[in-house]
Amino acid sequence: MRTNAGAIWVTVVALFLGLAAATQFRSQDVYSRSLNLETPSSLTTLIANLSETNNELRAEIFDLRRDADNAQNEVASGRGTLTEGQRQLQQLRVFSAESAVAGPGIVIRIEGAFDERAMSDLVNELRNAGAEAIGINEMRVGPRSFFTGTPDHAIGVDGRPLRGPWIVRAIGAEDVVFVAMTRTGGIIGQFELIYRSTHFDVGKESSLDLPAFVASK
């Protein structure tokens, strides 16, 4: 059982590393679409913020790799406890959206024009900011969720059409995630440049409840 605890943590870390790399690549779309709308001064701020974000991601990846090395050493030496294994398994279930979860976080309300690329960018940015679980309207978003457009201007999430206004809920350290979303040059500011008639409202919540992910039939 001790070996299983270490193996579970290795799996959790590997998933986080894979997602961090993928979301860092995909989340550049919103910025590239808004560059032509920026002023020179706001571009300077944006570059500084992106540099800071990249430094934070590098530090996070370094910490995760260190944790992975420690976990692998635990597997090899047989260290670890049943309690640690259960806790790590629960973390994996939350990360993979297999279990319902509750906790503090933020809520983003989007009223007006929006599209599937922007929603994908927003979800990726929330993950980069440390959100542990994300939901859109009443639907849980999983690590492999995909976004598509629909003829009636809804946003397809894993094949299910979700119509606006869209309510995006993200569980995590609410102060950290809130600042990441609303900072100057951040993703909400970029959206406001692209979707000028759309209203974005971001607020902190002390308690949020998200259901488990349900696959489309």
Burial of 212 (0-12, 13-18, 19+ CB in 10 A): middle
Q: Looking at the structure, do residues 57 and 151 belong to the same domain, yes or no? A: no
**Once rounded to an integer, what is the mean pLDDT over residues 69-76?**
62
Do 75 and 105 lie in one domain? The reply is no
Total residues found in the chain within this entry: 217
pLDDT of residue 36: 56
Instruction: State how many domains the chain has.
Output: 2
pTM (2 d.p.): 0.66
Q: How far apart are CA 175 and CA 104, in angstroms?
A: 10
Tell me which H or E stretch contains 134.
strand 133-136
Let me know how many helices (H) and strands (E) the chain has, helices first.
Answer: 7, 8
Residue 160: pLDDT above 70?
Answer: yes
Q: Give yes or no: residues 47 and 15 share one domain.
A: yes
Q: What domain range is 177 assigned to?
A: 101-210
- Tell me the average pLDDT across 159-170: 96
Q: Are residues 142 and 186 in the same domain?
A: yes
Residue where a domain stops, chosen among 44, 79, 95: 95
Give per-residue pLDDT as tens, 75-131: 566 555 556 666 666 666 667 778 899 999 999 999 999 999 999 999 999 998 999
The answer to whether position 215 is within a domain reads no
**Cα angle 193, 197, 203; round to 5:** 75
Alpha carbon dihedral 209, 174, 92, 139, in 10-degree steps, equals 40
Are residue 19 and residue 85 in the same domain, yes or no? Answer: yes
In a domain, 217, yes or no: no
5: pLDDT strictly greater than 90:
no
Asked if the peptide bond before residue 165 counts as cis, ω within 30 degrees of 0, the response is yes
pLDDT of residue 143: 84
Which CATH number characterizes residue 115's domain? 3.30.70.1880
Q: Of 95, 120, 154, which residue is a domain's last?
A: 95
Query: Which pair of tokens denotes residue 21?
Result: 């790399």
Residue 80 maps to a domain: yes
Q: Which two tokens stand for residue 46?
A: 């944006």
Say whether 44 sits in a helix, a strand or coil: helix
Whether 133 is covered by a domain: the verdict is yes
Same domain, 132 and 89: no
Q: Which of 95, 116, 148 delimits the end of a domain? A: 95
76 with 157, same domain? no
